[in-house]
Amino acid sequence: MKQSANYITEEKKKALEIELKELKGPKRKEILENLAYAKSLGDLSENAEYHQTREDQGKLEERIAKIEQILQSSEVVVSGGGGDVIEIGSKVLVLKDGEKIEKTYQIVGSEEADMTLGKISNRSPFGEALFGKKKGDDVSFKTPNGMVNYKIINVS
């Protein structure tokens, strides 16, 4: 497994496919209907509804393009984690130097990263430091506040 590749889980792929179907179908239709209504109101140069709907349409098309790009360029991780070596999908229990509370993080692709849920990107400094390491290893990485050191307690 290459650390630099784009990865998504099967669950994320399904969620993106559902979102894409919604955006291309009902949501796109709704915006086109709103656009037709806004045009019917008259003078487009001073029509705030028309301009807002056009902006919404641009955002919608941008999101559709982004999802399509993610689905085309990402490698789906079917069964990540569970081994001795940290890779996409691994759950890692770590202890930060100077702290007493252990924390668990899951290594995910950059599209799924959410620090509030303990999901860190394989491309983040922390994810890069952990990638390829094993239980018992020490890792360090640079942050804006200086170097941070962690001890890997467990990998699952």
Confidence of residue 80 (pLDDT cuts 50, 70, 90): low
For residue 1, pLDDT beyond 70: no
User: Model confidence over 85-94: pLDDT tens digits?
Assistant: 998 889 999 9
pLDDT digits (tens, 9 = 90+) for 103-120: 999 999 888 999 999 999
Higher per-residue confidence, 80 vs 123: 123
Range(s) within the chain of domains with CATH label 3.10.50.30: 91-155
If you average pLDDT over residues 68-88, what whole number do you get?
83
Domain 91-155 class?
alpha beta
Count the neighbouring beta carbons within 10 Å of the beta carbon of residue 136: 10
CB 35 within 8 A of CB 54: yes
Stated pTM of the model = 0.74
Tokens standing for 69? 């790009």
CATH 1.10.287.180 positions along the chain are 7-77
